[in-house]
Amino acid sequence: MTMKFKDKYTVSNEFENLFSFKDEKEELDHEAHMIMFRFLSELENFSGTKSLKRKELSAKLGVSPSYITQLYKGDKLLNFTMLAKIQKAFNITFEITARNNNPSSAAGNTRNKTRAGNYTYQLSEDKAVYRKNKKGKL
Amino acid sequence: MVRKCEHIISSKDGKRGIYVDSINKKEILGYLCQDDRHKKKFKYITEIILGGFRNTDLYDKEDINVKCRNVTAMKFFKGQENDRIYCREQNTSTGTHIVVASILYRRKKNNELSAKEIALIEKVGGYDYEI
């Protein structure tokens, strides 16, 4: 289940309506966009403040500049193939971190460990970081 | 010019917050609440600000000159309606980074800033909020 705005942030009562979702579909769609924005933000930070022009980025990825703009505006969603293209084009790897939204619960982390058995598993307080193991098995 | 503002939302750790100018609150909220499309975009911008993410298509600095070093813009529907909410960023004595939605500006027409837009941005740059 995704986290609602009220769980993540402190919202003044008067403005709660601004951050409500009609249904779970809308909520999940918002969360999907936020995941994409985190990747795009990381890409911009990595590429340097002003150095990465949209034209250069679109040329590197083999897409139109307007497609890139649509992604940044949130009108389209990135897919994993495009993420792979970004990684290849910039010779980078996005590191993925899973964090339990409820730090007091250790059960979720244990389940993650079982599911991602082929990864080395490090726990730092409520944070689980997955890295590929030395043998490189998935 | 010292102005008043009202709290909308802030991060749980209290390090970042979004406020709205008390005088322009009605107009700004009316704009944001007009339909789901506007609310959806505002939710994106809110999380980008509170999460400290970088997305210049939705939220960016408008520091065009020394008078507006702390002015930013929430960008709504770039390339379409091209509306803006010009904001004033300031830090409180307790270290909280505050973004105050100050003035709504509808239908920005060109990429270049007009004299009217520069005047508006400089006006926001001159605001000082009591938080």
Could you report the per-residue pLDDT of A10-65, keeping only the tens digit for each? 999 999 999 999 999 999 999 999 999 999 999 888 876 445 678 888 998 999 99
pLDDT digits (tens, 9 = 90+) for B116-128: 899 999 999 999 9
With beta carbons under 8 A apart, name residues in chain B contacting A38.
Answer: 51, 53
Task: Give residue A1's pLDDT.
Answer: 52
Q: Is A13 on the interface with B (CB under 8 A)?
A: no
**Chain A residue with Cα closest to B10:** A10
User: Do the beta carbons of residue A77 and residue A91 sit within 8 Å?
Assistant: no
pLDDT digits (tens, 9 = 90+) for A53-101: 788 889 989 999 999 999 999 999 999 999 999 999 988 899 988 988 7
Asked whether the predicted pLDDT for residue A108 surpasses 60, the reply is: no
| Alpha-carbon distance B20 to nearest alpha carbon in chain A (angstroms) | 11
**Chain B residue with Cα closest to A69:** B57
ipTM exceeds 0.95? no
Asked whether the predicted pLDDT for residue A116 surpasses 50, the reply is: no
With beta carbons under 8 A apart, name residues in chain A contacting B9.
Answer: 5, 9-12, 15, 19
User: Do the beta carbons of residue A93 and residue A87 sit within 8 Å?
Assistant: yes
Q: Is A108 on the interface with B (CB under 8 A)?
A: no
CA-to-CA distance for A50 and A41, rounded, in angstroms? 13
User: Do the beta carbons of residue B48 and residue A24 sit within 8 Å?
Assistant: no
Who contacts B108 (Cβ-Cβ below 8 Å, separation ≥6)? B82, B83, B84, B117
Q: Is B109 on the interface with A (CB under 8 A)?
A: no
CA-to-CA distance for A64 and A67, rounded, in angstroms? 5
**pTM score:** 0.84
A5 and B53: CB-CB below 8 Å? Answer: no
User: Do the beta carbons of residue B96 and residue B122 sit within 8 Å?
Assistant: no
